[in-house]
Amino acid sequence: MNNKTEVVIVTGSSGMIGSGLIHKLAKKYQVIGFDHDGYPFPPAEAECVCVDLTSDDRMTFAFKRIRYAYGNRIASVVHLAAYYDFLGEPSNLYDKVTVKGTERMLKYLQDFEVEQFIFSSSMLVYKPSSPGVLITEESPLEPKWDYPKSKVTTEKVMHEKRGEIPVVIMRIAGVYGEEGNSIPITNQIQRIYEKQISARLYPANTAHGSTYVHRDDVINAIALAIDKRKDLPAEVIVNIGDDETLSYQELQDIISTEINGKKSNIIHIPKWFAKAGAFMQNLFGKVFIKPWMIDLADDHFEMDSSKAKKLLGWKPKYSLRETLPKMVDNLKANPEKFYKDNKLE
């Protein structure tokens, strides 16, 4: 069989991961991008099928198109589309888009021969650990806000509704790239670059941090999972993250040195003071740090991705430590573009 006759559907196909994944997969597979109407569009290598995960009519139309053009067999569905924001406020879109949207996808896929369904979950579903204590796929779950809570609920939906479709759940660390692409990291860079007083203040343990992972390493992990789909268990969870987890202090030191040529001291402040400051800043403008984030600032996520290495033959090629200087170089080369690309105010 010619591999180009093997069909892969990518949802969220115009996004940072989806678009890069399509570029990679199009060399071997017939790729279809499921995405919303209008700009931005999936890359030209994929057929774009406009779809709304919250609509039965639109999903019916999309899968009729798939069957008519490509038949009944689907090699893999890579489900990246989900609702996400940093507002910290309740939203019914988490349920409508992420949970019910995934359930709707699985319902329509039951009428096809689907060899694999890959779901992009999050590292944030886990209970935080402590420095040196690695989080494995068997570690306890303790999602603390609506985004990771929606991922946990959706994982349960997949277990219950997958039928005979094999599933791969990827619990992915915070994603970054040379252009930035990570909201927490680019906002920390902005605070240091603009010499904001908040860049020197922190209400938590600076030895704590979170695992991140380069966008291209995520793309490679997904591509390997598709290639090896016939060898994987019918239902499997894998962590996808860098080998090294940098602390907040290490991030601060690297970014400060790249921008200012020297490290900058961090002053510890009480959480009540940080919350009050965040509240006041948000009254007078749009800032990234919200009061609800202060309670989570001590959380430490240090992931063990050895299972993905063993099952997929995957190994991260990049590290945040080596990529941060490239991010700062891109900022210095064109601050306006860096701010626009990363939606910095």
For 58-67, write each residue's pLDDT tens digit.
999 999 999 9
- Does the pLDDT value for residue 24 go beyond 70? yes
Confidence of residue 1 (pLDDT cuts 50, 70, 90): very low
Question: What's the pLDDT score for residue 281?
Answer: 65
191 within 8 A of 342, measured Cβ to Cβ: no
Tell me the mean pLDDT in the region 239-265: 96
Tell me the mean pLDDT in the region 11-18: 92
Phi, psi of 130 (to 5 degrees): -145, 160
Q: What is the token pair recorded at 250? A: 């290490």
- Does the pLDDT value for residue 116 go beyond 70? yes
Question: What's the pLDDT score for residue 294?
Answer: 84
Question: What's the pLDDT score for residue 296?
Answer: 87
Question: What's the pLDDT score for residue 2?
Answer: 42
- Decide: residue 129, CB within 10 A, 0-12 exposed, 13-18 middle, 19+ buried: buried
Q: What is the token pair recorded at 187? A: 């906002």
Least confident of 40-49, 125-134, 199-208, 258-267: 40-49
Tokens 């991030």 — which residue? Answer: 251
**Neighbouring-strand partners of residue 114:** 74
50 within 8 A of 74, measured Cβ to Cβ: no
For the chain, domains (ranges, CATH) are 3-178+211-244+302-319 (3.40.50.720), 183-207+246-300+329-341 (no CATH)
**pLDDT: which is higher, 206 or 280:** 206
Q: How far apart are CA 316 and CA 53, in angstroms?
A: 32
Question: What's the pLDDT score for residue 129?
Answer: 96
Phi, psi of 2 (to 5 degrees): -70, 125
- Does the pLDDT value for residue 10 go beyond 60? yes
SS (H, E, C) the chain: CCHHHCEEEEECCCCHHHHHHHHHHCCCCEEEEEECCCCCCCCCCCEEEECCCCCHHHHHHHHHHHHHHHCCEECEEEECCCCCCCCCCCCCHHHHHHHHHHHHHHHHHCCCEECCEEEEEEHHHECCCCCCCCECCCCCECCCCHHHHHHHHHHHHHHHHCCCCCEEEEEECEEEECCECCHHHHHHHHHHHCCCHHHHEECCCCCCEECEEEHHHHHHHHHHHHHCHHHCCCEEEEEECCCCCCEHHHHHHHHHHHHHCCCCCCEECCHHHHHHHHHHHHHCCCCCCCHHHHCCCCCCECECCHHHHHHHCCCCCCCHHHHHHHHHHHHHHCHHHHHHHCCCC
Q: How far apart are CA 135 and CA 296, in angstroms?
A: 17
What is the pTM (predicted TM-score) of this model? 0.94
As a whole number, the mean pLDDT across the chain is 92
Question: What's the pLDDT score for residue 328?
Answer: 98
Confidence of residue 28 (pLDDT cuts 50, 70, 90): very high
- Does the pLDDT value for residue 86 go beyond 70? no
Q: 92, 69, 52: which is closest to 7 by C-alpha?
A: 69
- Does the pLDDT value for residue 4 go beyond 70? no
Tell me the mean pLDDT in the region 35-55: 85
User: Which residue type sits at 100?
Assistant: K
- Does the pLDDT value for residue 21 go beyond 80? yes
Question: What's the pLDDT score for residue 295?
Answer: 83
- Does the pLDDT value for residue 255 go beyond 80? yes
| Sign of the CA dihedral running 196, 148, 270, 258 | negative
| Sign of the CA dihedral running 338, 285, 124, 23 | negative
> Which whole-number Å values give the CA distances from 228 to 77, 128, 213, 223, 312, in the listed order?
14, 31, 21, 9, 7
Question: What's the pLDDT score for residue 90?
Answer: 76
Question: What's the pLDDT score for residue 189?
Answer: 96
Question: What's the pLDDT score for residue 291?
Answer: 74
Question: What's the pLDDT score for residue 206?
Answer: 95
Confidence of residue 3 (pLDDT cuts 50, 70, 90): very low
CB neighbourhood size of 303 (10 A): 27
Question: What's the pLDDT score for residue 72?
Answer: 96
What's the residue count for the chain?
Answer: 345
